[in-house]
A and B are shown apart, each in its own frame.
Chain A
């Protein structure tokens, strides 16, 4: 499954993996904003952005082909709208649409492929993302694959009984019931270990000078490209 691959990537060791999640998040934002605000006429900027990502992929010691293949999943969607725009008589904007969405997707993938989600969430939390939201994301991610496995079984069961709208609704109902009961079991397990309504925090990692240096240099690069090209 996809997440297993990305999660394995995220636990790798490289200079990019070692950087603080907050630094990487800010660099990603700088990159995305630079790409987003680039005018379609500035076609020279896009290869430069791509080169930046290539450097990052090499620095992260990630399998480039697999990474690019994953990022290309956005292309069917972009291609549809690019086609509309192109037929609309604006081929340059159409091209930029494809370039921007692919580069942005690849950059986002690079973040999650070099940062384990728990670290990323802790980073988001220090950017004042509401804590309940962070915790819900954490729980969804934790149980996503447990419940997906159940859904897979139920899908098979529903199919073996002959696919019908009713059978699918029944399967959905059972999946809902199991999920609800699981949530109650989790809550019970939390109480049993002294949960008093407030989630314990474990504190964020230390933001080191090397993280600051990385942030400064890497955030400047896309901005420079945006301005210069």
Chain B
């Protein structure tokens, strides 16, 4: 879901542009350091692959089919930093060349799909390192991206009456399950051709990424929470069977339909998100500095061999 321009209110797009820009800068530097110089053509061609992969339909049931979104697959193949850069590049091309997604909304779209989507998709894979992890990665990736997009739209004052929200969330959930299944099937098919392509274990600073990934998930949850504290969003929790399900919240909305409370709420919400995000980045950074020291490498809850490069 690429948000076009004109949908997000000014504080929302401005905040996400301001947040995404330094994040992409940091990730670009990381990506360049983690995988050596051959990374640029590899990242570029794999980005083109993700673009093209959308043409391959996966039939599910009569008359319906899905296709790969790809954030998790990219993270598994290239590592999360490189995957985030590739997804950012894809989103930029979609916005600039295909008018799919807005220019001012690019920060929000990058945040949803390239940062949150990739990291949320990588985390379950990294922790479980099995089929379930891959499936959950695909699922989490789409859910987190969609949750964020929904939160941003909601913060921008687009009303989501409960019934529509229910339908939308169902839609997202089906899409998320599909992405999990497609990612898993694709990773298996690729692994049969050459296991080393999807068993990229010699990425350094794994713990940092786990931390950042966890932060991304927390953020996604926070985003959904912000959305649901919104006057319209809170209706999700209320029973949606009232015959006047459409009128009641909307009358309410009309009554206080002034822009400023929205703006205040949105600004507060976004400021909160950015704060959490900055805290996560800082935490990630300090973790990295600590793990750079020749210190004991086993920490609670993390399997030590996950950090040991399996291949030179």
- Contact, chains A and B (beta carbon distance below 8 A): yes
> Is the beta-carbon distance between B96 and A172 smaller than 8 angstroms?
no
Max chain B C-beta neighbours (<10 A), residue from A70, A93, A136, A170: A136
CB contacts (< 8 Å) of B98 on chain A: these are: 2-3
Chain A contacts with B in 80-105, Cβ cutoff 8 A: 81, 84-85, 87-90, 93, 96-97, 99-105
Task: Give complex CA distance A37, B45 in Å.
Answer: 38
> Is the beta-carbon distance between B56 and A88 smaller than 8 angstroms?
no
**Total residue contacts A-B, CB cutoff 8 A:** 258
B85 at the interface (CB under 8 A from A): yes
Q: How many residues of B contact A (CB 8 A)?
A: 78
Binary contact track A180-222/B, C-beta < 8 Å → 1, others 0: 1011101100100001010100000000000000000000000
Chain B contacts with A in 44-65, Cβ cutoff 8 A: 44-49, 51-53, 55-60
Q: Which secondary structure dominates chain B's binding surface?
A: helix
> Is the beta-carbon distance between A32 and B104 smaller than 8 angstroms?
yes
- Tell which of A78, A155, A182 touches B56, judged by Cβ atoms closer than 8 Å: A155
> Is the beta-carbon distance between B40 and A199 smaller than 8 angstroms?
yes
B285 at the interface (CB under 8 A from A): no
- Tell which of A35, A105, A117, A168 touches B97, judged by Cβ atoms closer than 8 Å: A117
**Segment with Cβ contacts to A, from B23-31, B135-143, B206-214, B294-302:** B23-31
> Is the beta-carbon distance between B161 and A84 smaller than 8 angstroms?
yes
B239 at the interface (CB under 8 A from A): no
A53 at the interface (CB under 8 A from B): no
Task: Give complex CA distance A198, B166 in Å.
Answer: 50
Q: Which secondary structure dominates chain A's binding surface?
A: helix
CB contacts (< 8 Å) of A179 on chain B: these are: 45-46, 48-49
Task: Give complex CA distance A37, B14 in Å.
Answer: 11
B131 at the interface (CB under 8 A from A): no
Task: Give complex CA distance A143, B188 in Å.
Answer: 25
From known contacts A108-B95, A173-B190, infer whether A140 and B104 are also in contact, taking CB-CB under 8 Å: no
The 5 closest A-B pairs by CB, nearest first: A139-B44, A100-B6, A173-B189, A104-B5, A169-B185
Listed by A's residue number, 5 A-B pairs whose Cβ atoms lie within 8 Å are A87-B161, A148-B52, A163-B57, A172-B53, A190-B41
B residues sitting closer than 8 Å to A (CB atoms) are: 4-8, 10, 13, 24-25, 28-29, 31-32, 36-49, 51-53, 55-60, 68, 77, 85-86, 88-90, 92-93, 95-99, 102-104, 153, 157-161, 164, 181-182, 185-186, 188-190, 192-194, 197, 246, 250-251, 253-254, 257, 259
